[in-house]
Structures are given as structure tokens and as C-alpha cells.
Amino acid sequence: MRKFLVTFAKTVSDDTGHDHVVLQRRAVIAARSDVSAAYEAKAMFCKAAGVSDWRLRADTCEVVELAQHAA
């Protein structure tokens, strides 16, 4: 299986009106595809955060495939 890094982040404004991206959670997921990795990571995020929808705690979900090293 391939490995993916799934990152959840939320954009928040500070008291001067500037936006900042805040990391909410990051996970390495073994899956057959990026879509499968995102689906699994979203389910894990919801369970860990105690919410029914990951978008209650994050604005973005980014999935990046990790490079495979030859043995």
C-alpha cells in the first residue's frame, strides 16, 4: 500500500485582522489511493475531535503521497 500524509488546518484571524493557518491534525495513512487516505483520515479526525463533521474543526484537508524508498 502507498502512504499519504493528510493534514488538516484552519484559517483564523488575529486581533489585527491578519489570517494565519493553524495546524489542527496530521496523520500518515496507508491506503490504495489519495481518496481512500482522505476518507480514512477524516473519519479518524472526527473520532479524535468528537465531532460529526471534520469541517467543524478545520477548513482544509490536504493529502500528499509520501515518497517510497527503494530497499
Where the chain has pLDDT below 50, the residues are none
pTM of the complete model: 0.88
- Kindly list the domain boundaries of the chain, sorted by start residue: 2-65
CB 10, CB 57: distance < 8 Å: yes
CA nearest neighbour of 6 among 54, 56, 50: 54
Please tell me the predicted confidence (pLDDT) of residue 68.
82
- pLDDT reported for residue 71: 62
Residue type, 62: E
